[in-house]
Amino acid sequence: MSDQVGNWYWNYTTNEWEKVPAVVTTKRMTAIGQVIAGAHKLHWVSMNPSAANSELVITDDTDGSTATVFDAFHATRDHMHMVLSPPMPFTTGIYLKTLNHMTSLILGYV
């Protein structure tokens, strides 16, 4: 199949077209810690709160020591699936710094 077939996103940072992936790698997290090291793009986050007032914080590093780049708070115990379009770029790594009142968090990344 030709590279011309498929979906493409325009990357305004690099001024290049990027092919949209057909699949992503998923990782289920039940505690804080490193999701993946290195440069990646976060495509979606699926949150399963265990109670009301749940929260999560994600940083772009391998140890949670830098500034927050993504966070979310839920006042209710409702599940939420958040698609990031365009995907969110990470340069150093994806690290789950805070996970309060969550049964699990599933991340989809490339």
Write out pLDDT tens, residues 81-99: 999 988 999 999 999 999 9
Closest residue by Cα to residue 28 from 49, 43, 46, 40: 46
Computed over its alpha carbons, how large is the radius of gyration of the chain? 15
Give the model's confidence band at 2: pLDDT under 50 very low, under 70 low, under 90 confident, else very high.
low
Q: Model-level pTM?
A: 0.89
* CATH among 1.20.120, 2.60.120, 3.40.50, 2.60.40 for 23-109: 2.60.120
- Upstream peptide bond of 86 is cis (omega within 30 degrees of 0): yes
**Could you give the count of Cα atoms lying within 13 Å of 5 in the half-sphere of its Cβ?**
2
What number is the average pLDDT over the span 65-71? 97
Distance CA 58, CA 73 (A): 12
Check pLDDT > 70 for residue 3.
no
